[in-house]
Structure formats: structure tokens, C-alpha cells
């Protein structure tokens, strides 16, 4: 590693120290996102384990239809001929659909009962965090802000984060040390 290498990677000051600082910043951001995801998954699993409710079959059916359509779209994108007509048995998606519906109902109730909606400043901060890893963050921020679907996806992530934080604040939590490789999914 030398200054020419650092400059070729777009490091502003073109120094090896600058490259190391940039790598460290990116790794810290990735670790933060992985920890959030790991904690969120644990919270959602715990909520599902406690959620005893009857599922509205119309909502489950809608989710089954959506999952089957997504599978057909994926097959089509992979070049499968007549993928949009492919018979896809609902049973392969039923556990996933029921999980999503159950979790959606539980999360919606928690959000409603505890005012856990995404706040505009949370959305702005999250988009800025996502954009920070790109060469032109302002372009990424505009890309998110320019599409309602992308903004809805960010809002959903913020709501999930708010629910996770709420549950973790109420739950008995045990800290666990995790090796870097395990956290990054390499084990």
C-alpha cells in the first residue's frame, strides 16, 4: 500500500493513513448495521414466540399471492421462459406468509399503542447513514427522497428499529460477545 494506491481508491488526501481511516470508518458502520440487524432478528423472533393470535386468512392469502408473484418475477429475471405462468404451490410459502402476517400484526399493534412511528428526523438520519458509504452521498440522498416506494422502505426499517429499541428497553437483555467473523457471517 502506498499513496498511489490510496489515490486510486478515491481517498481524498491520498495517504495510506487516510485509506486506513476510511476502511476503519466503513467497517465500524458495517458492524453497527450488522449488530442492529442481529438484535432486530432476535426481538422479532421473541415477539413471534409470544404472539398467540388467529390470523385473518384473507391477509395470509394476499401475502401468499404476493410471495408467489415475487417468485415468478425472480424466475423471469433469471430468464425462465413463461415464468409468469409457472404453477407455484402455495404450501411452500405458507410458513413465511403466516410469519410475516403474524409479525406485521404484532408490530402494528406495538407501533400504535406506543407511538413508535418513524419520525422525519429519524428517516433523514437513516438515509444519511446509508448514503455515507457512497462516493457521492448527496446523490444517494436525492435517490431515496425521489421515490415514495424507497421512502416507504426506509420508514419500515425505522419503525422496526423503534420496535426493537422499545422491546429491548423493556426486556431482560444479556450481552454476548461476538467475534468479528461470526458477526459478518463468515462462520
Q: For the segment 83-92, what is each residue's pLDDT rounded down to a tens digit?
A: 888 788 889 9
Q: Is pLDDT at 186 greater than 70 in this prediction?
A: no
Instruction: For residue range 53-112, list pLDDT tens digits in order.
Output: 899 999 999 999 999 999 988 988 999 888 888 788 889 999 999 999 999 999 999 999
Instruction: For residue range 112-125, list pLDDT tens digits in order.
Output: 999 999 999 999 99
- Kindly list the distances between the CA atom of residue 18 and the CA atoms of 6, 24, 28, 136, 154, in Å, as whole numbers in the listed order: 8, 10, 15, 18, 31
Instruction: For residue range 3-25, list pLDDT tens digits in order.
Output: 777 777 777 777 778 888 888 88
What torsion, rounded to 10 degrees, do the Cα atoms 34, 166, 124, 146 define? 80
Q: How confident is the model at residue 135 (pLDDT cuts 50, 70, 90)?
A: confident
- Global pTM reads 0.74
Beta-carbon-side half-sphere exposure of residue 153 (alpha carbons within 13 Å): 9
Contacts with 166 (C-beta within 8 Å, 6 or more apart), sequence order = 110, 114, 116
Q: How much of the chain, in percent, has pLDDT values that exceed 90?
A: 52
pLDDT of residue 166: 96
- Exposed, middle or buried: residue 187 (CB in 10 Å: 0-12, 13-18, 19+)? exposed
Of the candidate ranges 83-87, 121-125, 134-138, 161-165, the one whose mean pLDDT is the lowest: 83-87
Q: Is pLDDT at 187 greater than 60 in this prediction?
A: no
Q: Which three cell numbers stand for residue 63?
A: 401475502
Nearest-10 crossing angle of helices 120-131, 137-145:
140
Q: Return the residue matching grid coordinates 454476548.
A: 176
Q: Which three cell numbers stand for residue 58?
A: 384473507
Beta-carbon-side half-sphere exposure of residue 178 (alpha carbons within 13 Å): 17
pLDDT of residue 98: 95
- Exposed, middle or buried: residue 49 (CB in 10 Å: 0-12, 13-18, 19+)? exposed
CA distance 59 to 64: 9
Q: Which long-range contacts (CB under 8 A, 24 or more apart) does 108-113 make?
A: 110/47, 110/163, 110/166, 110/167, 111/159, 111/162, 111/163
Q: Is pLDDT at 162 greater than 90 in this prediction?
A: yes
Within its chain, how far is the Cα of 77 from the centroid? 22
pLDDT of residue 44: 93
Amino acid at each position: 500500500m502506498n499513496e498511489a494506491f490510496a489515490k486510486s481508491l478515491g481517498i481524498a488526501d491520498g495517504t495510506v493513513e487516510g485509506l486506513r481511516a476510511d476502511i476503519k470508518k466503513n467497517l465500524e458502520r458495517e458492524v453497527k448495521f450488522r449488530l442492529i440487524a442481529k438484535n432486530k432478528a432476535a426481538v422479532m423472533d421473541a415477539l413471534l414466540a409470544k404472539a398467540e393470535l388467529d390470523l385473518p386468512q384473507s391477509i395470509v392469502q394476499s401475502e401468499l399471492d404476493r410471495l408467489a408473484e415475487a417468485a415468478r418475477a425472480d424466475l423471469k429475471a433469471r430468464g425462465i421462459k413463461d415464468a409468469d405462468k409457472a404453477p407455484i404451490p402455495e404450501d411452500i410459502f405458507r410458513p413465511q406468509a403466516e410469519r410475516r402476517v403474524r409479525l406485521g400484526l404484532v408490530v402494528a399493534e406495538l407501533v400504535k399503542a406506543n407511538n413508535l412511528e418513524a419520525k422525519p428526523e429519524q428517516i433523514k438520519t437513516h438515509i444519511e447513514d446509508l448514503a455515507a458509504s457512497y462516493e457521492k452521498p448527496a446523490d444517494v440522498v436525492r435517490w431515496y427522497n425521489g421515490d415514495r416506494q424507497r421512502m416507504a422502505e426506509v420508514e419500515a426499517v425505522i419503525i422496526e428499529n423503534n420496535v426493537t429499541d422499545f422491546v429491548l428497553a423493556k426486556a431482560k437483555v444479556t450481552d454476548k460477545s461476538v467475534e468479528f467473523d461470526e458477526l459478518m457471517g463468515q462462520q
